[in-house]
Amino acid sequence: MIDLIQIVSSLGVGALLGLVIFWMYRQDRKASEDRLREDRRFMEDRLTSLLNNYYEAFENNTKALTELIVLLSKMNGKK
């Protein structure tokens, strides 16, 4: 890195300023990508949790409906 700075500084102040601006851009871009990746991971975990809760409720409702059908069938058979 120091060699690169020495080479660029020999080209002039504009090249050195360009290198600093490029380096700052890369750091900012990397931080933004890391933030987006973390947000995406959070949203995926949240969606997975919601889907698990939905399927659990779906299974419970299916069991309750099955028990209701069996009960109604037994009650109608007794009449």
Sign of the C-alpha dihedral computed for residues 36, 39, 45 and 48 taken in this order = negative
Helices vs. strands in the chain: H and E counts, helices first: 2, 0
> What per-residue confidence (pLDDT) applies to 4?
75
Segment 10-55, tens digit of pLDDT: 888 888 888 889 999 999 999 999 999 999 999 999 999 999 999 9
Evaluate if residue 7 carries a pLDDT over 90: no
Give the residue numbers spanning the domain of 41: 2-78
pLDDT band at 78 (very low <50, low <70, confident <90, very high): low
> What per-residue confidence (pLDDT) applies to 76?
85
DSSP state of 49: H
DSSP state of 1: -
pLDDT band at 1 (very low <50, low <70, confident <90, very high): confident
Q: What is the number of structural domains in the chain?
A: 1
